[in-house]
Amino acid sequence: MKRFLLAVLLMALPLAAQEEKKPEPKPPVTVQKLFVLKYADPQNVRNLLQVFHANFDANREMRVLAVDATPETMAAIEDAIKRLDIPSAAPANIDLTIYLVVGHESENSTGGAVPKDLDGVVTQLKSAFSFKSYSLLDVLALRTRTGQQANTTSSGGAVQNGNNSAPVVTNFRIENANIGSDGASIHISRLNAGIKMPVISGGSFGYTDLGMNTDIDIKEGQKVVIGRLGISKDQAMFLVMTAKILQ
């Protein structure tokens, strides 16, 4: 009996060794392809194609998208690119206008008169807040291209203190802006506003830092209050934005 068990054990050893030495599975075969896009932004297409298990490299300047994928995945990616790279996906310019409107507890206000085309916005603000008057501190214009970063800086606004004045320094930056499928809505990603606002303290100027970070959805032509920033207990700044698509 012992001899029989020993024989079985000796026969099993080579089988165990064979199982341990099984070769590792080979990595899948991949193919590489370079797509030259006519209309769509390569970076935007790359972001959409992340649902596929593949490697992508986008170059906006050359308008190309390099792809490394299995043949089956490559066929699906090629079909998706044909559907995405269409004339309606061509980059467009977007003009953004940002108004710095200040609400005051007193009738005497810093800044100029609010433009007539913002009357509707001021009416809404008066119904929501108790400020007695509103003034326009500055206007910033920012032109961007769909899918691209943009920023602008202004020091056009100023706060008066007798014969002295101090500039309002404003910086706006967006990560990107894209047009919705309806052709009229605009999504702005990571809007960053930084404002150095002069405040009068003890008869002299000091500065307070105001800022906001947000995503914005806006319809072309609409005037939208995108933020309220507190300046002091009796003043607040409202950021009003309007957008226009330029094909």
Quick check: do 20-89 and 93-246 share a fold? Answer: no
Multiple choice CATH, 20-89, 1.10.3720.10, 3.30.70.2660, 3.30.1370.120, 3.40.980.10 = 3.30.1370.120
State the burial class of residue 189 (Cβ atoms within 10 Å of its Cβ: 0-12, 13-18, 19+).
middle
Whole-number Å distance between alpha carbons of 89 and 182: 12
**Regions of the chain with pLDDT less than 70:** 1-23, 88, 107-109, 247
How high is the pLDDT of residue 11?
59
CATH class of 93-246: mainly beta
pLDDT at 22: 64
At residue 12, the pLDDT reads 54
Alpha carbon 193 to chain centroid, angstroms: 13
- The pLDDT of residue 206 is 87
